[in-house]
Amino acid sequence: LMWYLCGLGSNIRPETNLPCAVAELAMRYGTLWLSPVIRTRPEGMATPHAFLNALVVLRCELSPAALKLEFNALEERMGRNRSDPQSRYSDRPIDVDILESSPRRHFTGSGIHESYYCALFYGTGSQPTVALCLNGQSLGQTPATIYWNESAGHEVIVEQGKQLQYDTAKPTLPG
């Protein structure tokens, strides 16, 4: 199994699309550890639409290349046109990027280049967090553990303020 530190971003209906992507990831990969969600200005693209961004840690058996293909498919299902050569510079319903991978769940931050992801990873940002709703549950203001609970009727469960812990696992994210 491999651990992945990923960046999530949305600037098309982000209050809806970011929680939808989190739910999809939880259903597919099980337990997620999510950073607080912040509103950011676009970097490297000309648009008036602000982004909502967060970091997420997940664990799976896929290689980085195979996982990126799954992330691309998720982006397309949610409406991103990846066939457009300018899609990198266009508004998007969701963007999911692998920032780092680790066999032992230890992340250094060396794969993070965007200032907003660095601020989330190192806990140095001063941006206010954004409250979102996922299946009637609050999300985004503090670190959270999110998981797919089949025994509770196949629903996504959000546990905010859990310091990104699940059992004895604690990824290297602040909180």
Q: What angle do CA 157, 75, 95 make, to 5 degrees?
A: 80
Judge whether residue 36 has pLDDT over 50: yes
| Percent of the chain with pLDDT strictly greater than 90 | 61
Q: Is residue 73 situated within a structural domain?
A: yes
Tens of pLDDT along 98-108? 999 999 888 99
Q: Is residue 139 situated within a structural domain?
A: yes
Q: Is residue 174 situated within a structural domain?
A: no
Structure tokens at 85: 């050569």
CATH number for the domain harbouring residue 60: 3.30.70
Q: Is residue 175 situated within a structural domain?
A: no
Tens of pLDDT along 119-141? 999 888 788 899 999 888 899 99
Judge whether residue 46 has pLDDT over 50: yes
pTM to 2 decimal places: 0.88
Q: Is residue 170 situated within a structural domain?
A: no
Question: Of residues 101 and 147, which shows the higher confidence score?
Answer: 101
Task: Label residue 60 by pLDDT band (50, 70, 90).
Answer: very high
What is the distance between the alpha carbons of residues 98 and 113, in angstroms, rounded to a whole number? 12
Provide the domain limits for residue 10.
Answer: 2-160
Q: How does the average pLDDT of the chain come out, rounded?
A: 87
Q: Is residue 166 situated within a structural domain?
A: no
What is the distance between the alpha carbons of residues 118 and 75, in angstroms, rounded to a whole number? 23
Give the mean model confidence (pLDDT) for residues 144-153: 78
Query: What's the structural domain count of the chain?
Result: 1
Q: Is residue 36 situated within a structural domain?
A: yes
Give me the pLDDT at residue 154, please.
Answer: 58
Residue from 18, 16, 95, 102 nearest 57 by CA:
102
Q: Is residue 32 situated within a structural domain?
A: yes
